[in-house]
Amino acid sequence: MLQDTVKPVACEKPSPADGKQRRMRLTLQGREGVYGYLFASPVILGLLIFTVVPLFSAMYYSFTDYDLLTKANWVGFANYVRLWHDPLWYKSLSVTLLYALTSVPLGLIGSLGLALLLNREVIGVRFWRAVFYLPVVFPAAGASLIWLTMFNANNGLFNTILTFFHLPPYTWVSEPETALPSMIIFSLWGMGGSMLIWISGLRSIPTDLYDAARVDGANAWHQFWSVTLPMLSPVLLFNLIIGIISSLQIFTQAEIVTAGGPLHATFFIVLFIYQEAFQDFRMGYASAIAWMLFLLIALLTALVLRTSSNWVYYAGGDRNE
Amino acid sequence: MSKNVSGSKSFEWFTFLRLSKVLPTLLLCLLGFIFLIPVLWMLSLSLQTFQETIQNPLTLLPHSPQWGNYLQAFRDIPLLLYMGNTLTITVAVVVGSTFSAAFCAYAFARLHFRGRSLLFGMVLATLMLPPAVTLIPLYILFRDLHWINTFLPLTVPAFFGGGAFNIFLLRQFILTIPRELDEAALIDGASYWQIFLYLILPLSKPAMTVAAVMTTVATWNDFLGPLIYLNTPNHFTMALGLVSYSGNAGLYTNPQPQLLMAATVMMIAPIILLFIFAQRYIIQGIVTTGIKG
């Protein structure tokens, strides 16, 4: 406050040159702003046309009985009421949740194991990293056809291997009880994606932390629990969220390998949406299911983020950009 | 020889070091082999005779490789047509999304405008939005535009920002380009457009390569999009054509396994080759976007 009153007199009278400069800077900033919108215009338009408007029209359609051919009639909450009483919805919800809640943790543990193995000085790291990542870029349609032949209960590859080791054959995707576990095993083939992210997380841990731990007498096990894991917790958060979002939306593999069967044992939510919308043309009902999926993903992501402050450790006190 | 002189203690230490290197390598070989089983199985099956594929116990390795299976599969399905369709879509999507993502990324990395961080936050939020939610309204929109059974629903959206992933990747990269370069160019009287075209774009080539490779893989492998928007076989992509060949679409009835696998090999070969040669870019893409968040 005091400083304001004792300002040097010279500063109170801005010189004409000063004002000119400020005006010029303003116009420069204005020009920059215009160009900013210009350069961002594709994504502004794209967001509106392909995301925001469809998102809300999906909500609108979920209150109608639109069937692609006749005019959409407003039916209020009828689709949601129907969803509430639809045993298929509960089936697909539980199948999808069970799939996500098993395949994500198993995939995260497995991929962390692979990352720890590859983070050591072993022969041919680059080669093995490529081998484990290959399934991620492998076209899902082709992979599904291969796994379908391997799952064959009669003379498939998996049962041949089991018989070779004198183990009882498994029914894989041919029986309702074993179809979902089979799809989870299939999903684990793609754990290379999170493995890569674990690896880059491991590389960013400063080695002096391990040196300090070793000086304090920590063995490899202690080092893992007290240094590696806390330092990796932001990566775990990232992998967990990506894993939940993508596993709740499984479609291609299930459509090709099981088509939702047997007896809806692998009837994932997106399969339900696809079937309602593009096979039975119940766009309204399908939109209601799609919105429920959206809410489910938002809810689970928010839940993970909300609890993350308790278990995520950010080195340097705050989340670094 | 001189190493042995230093006594038994250092010798133990030496064997321990060797063991600690050998065990993980053996474990990696085993796990790597397990991960490769589906690929090896596909190759083996694609070279078997029909008799070999149906006998029990199954044939692990073909007695004599049947290269003719590939020719037969090639004759059975219009593979070149499917490949041409996939290539057309992929090229359009890759060109559209890398350039439009660079365009928008420049705005987010360099230009200050009101609502920039809000807009960028919204772009990133679309990464979490399930495509299934917008699928139905987009289908209705494209139907009203009479775009169903054309490549337009699959390609046109790529020109509107090129996807959140690519924008984020390119923005992170442009942020690493020294700002002094822009400022010097501005003082020399260059327009923002010129700075983007002659400075940012050429310097962003590494990141644009990463974006292009990742987009190629995603577009080539896409199944849901073509499944919904392409109805007639002359518009099918590789993924859709392959699945229809497997009998899913009712166009073909149960092809023999060895022919289906031969077709699968031909469908996945381009993307696997791309992966082998451009692996560096894919891994770089994952690492920059995954961690530098």
Dist. CA A29–CA A26, nearest whole Å: 5
Position B265 pLDDT exceeds 90: yes
Closest CA to A147 of A102, A264, A139: A139
Average pLDDT score over residue span A77-102: 94
Together in a domain, B143 and B278: yes
- Do B257 and A149 lie within an 8 Å CB cutoff? yes
pLDDT band for position A203 (cuts 50, 70, 90): confident
Dist. CA B291–CA A198, nearest whole Å: 9
Together in a domain, B22 and B134: no
Average pLDDT score over residue span B65-90: 90
Residues A121/B21, Cβ–Cβ less than 8 Å: yes
pLDDT band for position A5 (cuts 50, 70, 90): very low
Tokens of A230: 């806390």
Average pLDDT score over residue span B44-61: 82
Among B32, B51, B67, where does a domain finish?
Answer: B67
pLDDT band for position A110 (cuts 50, 70, 90): very high
Closest CA to B173 of B123, B196, B209, B207: B207
User: Helix (H, G, I), strand (E, B), or coil: what is residue A64?
Assistant: strand
pLDDT band for position B43 (cuts 50, 70, 90): very high
**pLDDT in the model for residue B91:** 96
Together in a domain, B138 and B219: yes
Q: How does pLDDT run across B192-225, given as a tens digit for each residue? A: 999 999 999 999 988 899 899 989 999 999 999 9
Amino acid at A95: V
Dist. CA A58–CA A61, nearest whole Å: 5
Q: Which of A2-16, A20-34, B123-137, B253-267 has the lowest mean pLDDT?
A: A2-16
Together in a domain, B159 and B47: no
Together in a domain, B127 and B27: no
Residues 6+ apart with CB under 8 A from A307: none
Q: Give the relative orientation of helices A87-118 and B8-46 as an angle to the nearest 10 degrees.
A: 140
Q: What is the DSSP string of B134-183?
A: HHHHHHHHHHHTT-TTSSHHHHGGGGTT--HHHHHHHHHHHHTS-HHHHH
Q: Which of A153-157, A213-217, B82-86, B253-257 has the lowest mean pLDDT?
A: B253-257
Task: Tally DSSP H helices, then E strands, for chain B.
Answer: 16, 0
Q: Taking CB atoms and an 8 Å cutoff, what residues of chain B touch A192?
A: 35
Residues 6+ apart with CB under 8 A from A55: A294, B129, B133, B134, B137
- Do B21 and A245 lie within an 8 Å CB cutoff? no
Q: Taking CB atoms and an 8 Å cutoff, what residues of chain A touch B238?
A: 139
Q: ∠ CA A228-A233-A235 to the nearest 5 degrees? A: 100
Q: How does pLDDT run across B26-41, given as a tens digit for each residue? A: 888 899 999 999 999 9
A285: nearest CA partner in chain B: B136
Together in a domain, B25 and B154: no
Together in a domain, B58 and B105: no
Together in a domain, B174 and B143: yes
**pLDDT in the model for residue B7:** 47
**pLDDT in the model for residue A186:** 95
Q: How does pLDDT run across A251-300, given as a tens digit for each residue? A: 999 999 988 878 999 999 999 999 999 999 999 999 999 999 999 999 99
Among B67, B92, B118, where does a domain finish?
Answer: B67
B267: nearest CA partner in chain A: A142
CATH of the domain at B166: 1.10.3720.10
A301: nearest CA partner in chain B: B128
Average pLDDT score over residue span B40-58: 85
Average pLDDT score over residue span A199-218: 87
Q: Taking CB atoms and an 8 Å cutoff, what residues of chain A touch B128?
A: 241, 245, 297-298, 301
- Do A142 and B267 lie within an 8 Å CB cutoff? yes
Q: Which domain holds residue B252?
A: 70-291
Q: What pairs with residue A74 in β-bridges?
A: A64
Position A2 pLDDT exceeds 70: no
Position B136 pLDDT exceeds 80: yes
Among B40, B67, B94, where does a domain finish?
Answer: B67
Q: Which of B160, B246, B275 sits opposite A43 (nearest CB)?
A: B160
B24: nearest CA partner in chain A: A117
User: Helix (H, G, I), strand (E, B), or coil: what is residue A74?
Assistant: strand
pLDDT band for position B3 (cuts 50, 70, 90): very low
Together in a domain, B19 and B127: no
Determine which of B98, B113, B227 to mutate to test the interface with A (most A C-beta atoms within 10 Å). Answer: B113
Alpha helices in chain A (DSSP H): 2-5, 9-12, 16-47, 53-61, 78-85, 87-118, 125-137, 140-151, 157-164, 176-188, 192-203, 207-215, 220-223, 229-247, 252-257, 269-278, 283-311
pLDDT band for position B253 (cuts 50, 70, 90): low
Together in a domain, B163 and B31: no
Tokens of A134: 């290959």
- What percent of chain A has a predicted confidence (pLDDT) above 90? 49
CB-defined contacts A:B, below 8 A: 275
- Do A189 and B38 lie within an 8 Å CB cutoff? yes
Q: Which has the higher per-residue pLDDT, B17 or A241? A: A241
Q: Which residue has the tokens 């199944």?
A: B223
Position B230 pLDDT exceeds 50: yes
Q: How does pLDDT run across A56-65, given as a tens digit for each residue? A: 999 999 999 9
The count of domains in chain B is 2
Q: Taking CB atoms and an 8 Å cutoff, what residues of chain B touch A39?
A: 103-104, 106-107, 111, 192, 196
- Do A137 and B275 lie within an 8 Å CB cutoff? yes
Together in a domain, B17 and B98: no
Residues 6+ apart with CB under 8 A from A162: A168, A169, A170
Together in a domain, B85 and B228: yes
Q: Taking CB atoms and an 8 Å cutoff, what residues of chain A touch B55?
A: 155
Q: What is the distance, to the nearest Å, from the Cα of residue B97 to the centroid of all Cα atoms in its chain?
A: 14
Closest CA to B263 of B34, B55, B42: B42
DSSP assignment letter at A172:
G
The minimum CA-CA distance between B84 and chain A, rounded to whole Å, is 17
Dist. CA A82–CA A277, nearest whole Å: 16
Q: Which of B42, B104, B220 sits opposite A42 (nearest CB)?
A: B104
Dist. CA B8–CA A314, nearest whole Å: 45
pLDDT band for position B13 (cuts 50, 70, 90): low
The minimum CA-CA distance between A9 and chain B, rounded to whole Å, is 33
Q: Which of B36, B107, B196 sits opposite A40 (nearest CB)?
A: B107
Residues 6+ apart with CB under 8 A from B176: none
Neighbour-count burial of A91, counting CB atoms closer than 10 A to its CB (0-12 exposed, 13-18 middle, 19+ buried): middle
Position B4 pLDDT exceeds 90: no
